[in-house]
Structure 1
């Protein structure tokens, strides 16, 4: 079976060379737009392409506003600050995620609380969240959610749309609404994914995107905060070193960050965005072809949740156990086809081992079984 999968991947990518997991493709106006920024000399964080990229992402996602940042982690950091996360607070998140999700919490001086995921979404489980809150949290007289053990405020919930598959947002919105908890969607992996017709990152209080080199479209490095008008204005202020507008004076009125996306990166993003729909169409076709290829095998292909449209950023299979997972990874990589396991659970990492957590049965089960397959768009 493994060799049939290798043959399928090689036939799809039309190569006998090494097949990476998700390489970027530059097949449009990338070079022209980047050269344009160089000739204009506006290559830093002020320039027409930054404004254009923000406006086009806002229009594409249906978000009132979008604020570009230097990377997705910076977007998460500022988004958490915007909803009031402060030192000593708690933020509920999932253990099955990329480390940037948790690092952004730590940058705020807050502590993550790990709650289990659902197997069918790979993302934070509303049921597990509700059960944890009922057992370990309470609402104070002012309606703030607090952890029973130390009365610390649980300020936010940070779900991540794993591999582009939307989490159960209706369930999370309901639970968090009952407990007065803000939702920041980590939509880093899900540009082009929708939940019941709405783009991921637009159903919570705030959302964030990533344009790292391995994402569906890339700016080399880059991120975006999806927000309403008021929060977007504040996001732009914080990401521009909290500098107040003035023709020549340097006036900074609070702690800010040098987090704005450079114009030269935004130029790359504008060109990539022109190809997004074609990339999504190809990626969804690849997912369908993988599913057909694996039909009848003992590998379970991960499909989009019901009512959702996934970008299938990274295709994934669920193996029978960790032994089969390890064998699949070894055979494919030994034959020049890159596959990899899902992330190690965050609560196992040394800096997060002491963080509170609930029962993580599903997260552990998935950690032992999930393997990512090559998922990039074919070069032109």
Structure 2
């Protein structure tokens, strides 16, 4: 029998035979082999050969020479901001439509977040709104490459050059994303990546900091290792942090990188299946703008009518399909709330849904998900 949800709408009587989560990591490579090697050799903490091997392989993959691994993506952002150094009253421009870590780390670093709106077509930060938000107190811009799509980096780099601003790229969701042939994370003074369990490549928990030059990387490395002197034992010359990645996490990351190209290609294929299967419905899949290559970390849609977003999610849940809403705009959250209206970001947030996006989805899985969505509208 069909079942009803709170608004009286019927849920589908047929369900997906297998629960389809929003994400699960692909662990089909040498992850177990490398972890066992760590255990057998007793190198399980933050020292060990896999840390260097992972950092080197990551550097080669994104074509950025100055990288250092950290324990997660949030501390990667905090480390970048602490390395640059900000004072109370300094302002950092950031999109309101982002995961809260982008904003929390600005606050933790002692600066003030200044929120900008998004672009309707790409969901990324609006460069024109960035210009409008610059004041004499503005010290930096944080560009967030959201859900696998790239920001308009030419415009953002130009703005930062014109006003003398630091540029930080939050690439937590953008491993494999390119802008004009360059991997994101190679444009700014700093860039950060996340390797949480739902990311395109994962270390369970982990992250990477990418620096523009050797000097910035050295300062970041110094802070991430408790600001310990390189030549005097247990001598610390600043407030430092224990933000190091473990050898076991790096071992998993190295195995993940060995399959990264294959995983990224599969995720593009999955996005193509969704695009075809959802064609003609009153919704839109986040695709890719000219000069960009979307990594499709999440296959994400916006429905035309915000009032049906939650009923559609309930409909999919009733069919054994997990979804996620888009992030709440940060300027609406209690601890960083402002009185401003940022209409595009607010509209996208109210209409957006992340669909199952894990690499092992089959054509049949996506066909079924699309059929369930069509049945909702039909």
Q: How does the TM-score come out when normalised to structure 1?
A: 0.89
Q: Where do residues 188-227 of structure 1 align in structure 2 (5 Å cutoff)?
A: 188-227=172-211
Shift of 1:365: 1.4
Shift in Å, 1:213: 0.4
SS at match of 2:198: coil
1:42-61 matches, cutoff 5 A: 42-61=43-62
- Where 2:172 maps in the other structure, the secondary structure is coil
Greater Cα shift, 260-269 or 237-246? 237-246
Q: Which residue of 2 aligns with 1:252?
A: 236
> Which position in structure 2 is the counterpart of 1:353?
337
Q: Is residue 95–residue 363 contact of structure 1 (8 Å, CA) maintained in 2?
A: yes
Secondary structure (helix, strand or coil) at the match of 2:301 reads: strand
How far has the Cα of 1:320 moved from its partner?
1.1
Quick check: 1:323 aligned with 2:307?
yes
**Equivalent-residue separation in structure 1 for 2:64 and 2:95 (angstroms):** 24
Distance 1:198 1:209 in 2: 16
After superposition, residues 172-187 of structure 1 pair within 5 angstroms as: 172-187=156-171
Matches within 5 A, 1:286-297: 286-297=270-281
CA contact (8 A) 2:50 2:251 kept: yes
Matched, 1:169 2:153: yes
Q: Is the 8 A contact 2:81 2:109 kept in 1?
A: yes
1:83 alignment counterpart: 84
Query: For residue 359 of structure 2, what is the aligned residue in structure 1?
Result: 377
Report the equivalent of 2:372: none
Partner of 1:230: 215
Determine whether 1:239 maps to 2:224: yes
With normalisation by structure 2, the TM-score equals: 0.89
Is the contact made by 1:25 and 1:379 (CA closer than 8 Å) also made in structure 2? no
Tell me the SS of whatever aligns to 2:23. Answer: coil
Q: 1:233 to 1:64 in 2, by over 3 A?
A: same
- Count of aligned residue pairs for this structure pair: 352
Alpha-carbon offset, residue 246 of structure 1 = 3.9
Cα distance in structure 2, aligned partners of 1:306 and 1:85: 35
Match in the other structure for 1:99: 100
Q: Taking structure 1 as reference, are residues 6 and 130 closer, same or farther at Cα in structure 2, changes over 3 Å only?
A: farther
Q: 2-side partners of 1:65 and 1:205: how far apart?
A: 11
Give the superposition deviation at 1:32: 0.6
CA displacement at 1:6 relative to structure 2: 12
Instruction: Quote the residue 1:35 is aligned against.
Output: 36
Deviations 1:98-145 (A, max 9, x none): 011111111101111001111122111101111233xxx2xxxxxxxx
Q: Which runs of 5+ in 1 are unaligned?
A: 11-15, 138-145, 147-152
Cα drift, residue 87 of structure 1: 3.3
Partner of 2:371: none
Which residue in 1 is equivalent to 2:125? 124
Q: In 1, distance between residues paired with 2:292 and 2:253?
A: 25
Q: Is the 8 A contact 1:6 1:337 kept in 2?
A: no
CA contact under 8 A between 1:121 and 1:168: conserved in structure 2? no
Contact 1:182 1:205 in 2 (8 A): yes
User: Which runs of 5 or more residues in structure 2 are unaligned?
Assistant: 1-9, 363-378
- Pairwise CA RMSD: 2.0
**2:350 maps to which residue?**
368
Q: Give the conservation status (yes or no) of the 8 Å contact 1:342–1:370.
A: yes
CA displacement, residues 178-216 of structure 1 (integer Å, 9 cap, x when unaligned): 111111000010001100000011111111100000000
| Structure 1 partner of 2:324 | 340
SS at match of 1:273: helix
Q: Give the superposition deviation at 1:379.
A: 7.4
How many angstroms apart in 2 are the aligned matches of 1:88 and 1:257? 24
- Alpha-carbon separation, structure 1, partners of 2:108 and 2:246: 22
CA offsets per residue over residues 214-253 of structure 1, 9 Å max, x none?
0001000000011121111111111011111247x21111
DSSP-derived class of the 1:79 partner:
helix
Q: Please identify runs of 4+ aligned residues in structure 1 that moved more than 6 A.
A: none
Please tell me whether residue 159 in structure 1 is matched to residue 138 in structure 2: no
From 238, 241, 253, give the equivalent of 1:269: 253
